Homo-oligomer: A and B are copies of this chain.
Amino acid sequence: MLQSKLFYKTFKENPKEAEALSHAFLIRGGFIDRAAAGVYTFLPLGFLVLKKIENIIREEMNAIGGQEILMPVLASKENWEKTGRWTSFEELFKLKGQNEKEYALNPTHEEMISPLAKKFVFSHKDLPFHLFQIQTKFRNELRVKSGLLRTREFLMKDLYSFHSSQEDLDKYYSKVEKAYFKIFKRCGVKVLKAFASGGSFSKYSHEFQAPTEAGEDLIYVCRKCSVAVNKEIKQDKCQECGGAEFEEKKAVEVGNIFKLGDKYSLPFELKFKDEDGKEKLVVMGCYGIGLGRLMASVVELNNDKNGIIWPKEVSPFDVHLIRIGRAKKVRDKAEKLYEDLQKKGFSVLYDDRDEISAGQKFAESDLIGISTRLVVSEKTLKQNSAELKERAKNKICLVKFSHIYQAI
């Protein structure tokens, strides 16, 4: 992509409502735009990051047998009444159609996937299965804050699993936990597993908390085993190892996993005939990751004072190729490099602009934070191998042709 054609614009000033660093950098770098309070557009740069995150999640969900579907936003009132959540779920957006029919905007999809599963499950042979989607959700929040960290409309990956026994659910729950750690690691976000409140079926659920000052949650990290617990259910001793010393940290909840048991199969009469011929309730689990919140967390944990430093796997482009100067020699080298890199399968943002100073180009590049930067200038064309290798180590690579590929 030629930078002269990219639809973006960087801003020097932090947006006035910005409370979190990720909010400021994502707006200032032209990744997102605020459409209304707690409602954001993903601009081309932000959309590229979003797709990278989405694909990482998709790969890891497929790897544990998840099958992808897409459920609607509009939910009929009837199903939300069945679970009692039409009135008890405070943040439910409600609306009325021309036909006077009432709908909710799904903030989560148990009320939709349970009656769906009911049409497909009859016998123990139909179990287990695991369905996920990456889809837009809504919460009628009284207050929003911190850019993508708390919004009224947001993208979620939600996975639902259906089992014939608690043992089978337990086994799958552990699989999902491992997949979640992989996802967050690939995104460059260090997370802690935290105990959270469960339901009638299971004493605890678990959250994946990314410690950062921008976080709204308070967690208590066991000094012995590094497993955390959220504020709500903190006890004297660690639920994981019995340790008694904790460190208080602010954190962002980027994911959670929950053993639902029969909480939803009961009201929807989601049953199956077991091997013993008896009718039983399907045992369910649900597992969420907020994509926008994860993107913001990536930024919170990967930056310096000048801007974002995207981890490789979620960088909007593989390479930021910056040409400094207009000399024919420099231009030719840069253009050849742009073609070559793309032929090798790298995605490249090429700063081809003539009217922008070197200082401005570097400042923008620092802010946008593509994971690898290549600079072509008259100076770099003269540098020797040792100098270039040294610079490549620092990720800001002033390169000759021969050194590029080892640097990326």
A interface residues with partner B (beta carbon < 8 Å): 5-9, 33, 35-37, 39-44, 47, 50, 65, 67-76, 91, 93-95, 97-99, 101, 103, 105, 112, 116, 119-120, 129, 131, 136, 138, 140-142, 152-153
Lowest 6 A-B CB distances belong to which pairs?
A95-B95, A42-B70, A36-B76, A44-B67, A39-B72, A98-B142
> Which residue of B9, B47, B70, B140 is within 8 Å of A50 (Cβ)?
B70
Give CA–CA (A127, B381) in the complex, Å.
34
Copies in the complex: 2
A43 touches B69 (CB 8 A): yes
Give CA–CA (A67, B41) in the complex, Å.
13
Query: What's the minimum C-beta distance from A99 to chain B, rounded to whole angstroms?
Result: 6
Known: A67-B44, A140-B97, A141-B98. A120 touches B9 (CB 8 A): yes
List residues of chain B with CB within 8 A of the CB of A7. 67, 69, 120, 129, 131
Give CA–CA (A33, B113) in the complex, Å.
11
A47 touches B65 (CB 8 A): no
Query: What's the minimum C-beta distance from A44 to chain B, rounded to whole angstroms?
Result: 4
B35 touches A119 (CB 8 A): no
- The residue of chain B having its C-beta at the shortest distance from the C-beta of A119 within the complex is B33
Query: What's the minimum C-beta distance from A284 to chain B, rounded to whole angstroms?
Result: 14
Give CA–CA (A142, B91) in the complex, Å.
27
Determine which residue in A33, A35, A37, A43 has the highest number of CB atoms from chain B within 10 A of its CB, and name it. A35
Question: Would you give 6 A-B contacts (Cβ < 8 Å), ordered by A?
Answer: A33-B116, A36-B74, A36-B75, A36-B103, A74-B138, A95-B95
B97 touches A35 (CB 8 A): no
Known: A41-B72, A73-B153. A6 touches B67 (CB 8 A): yes
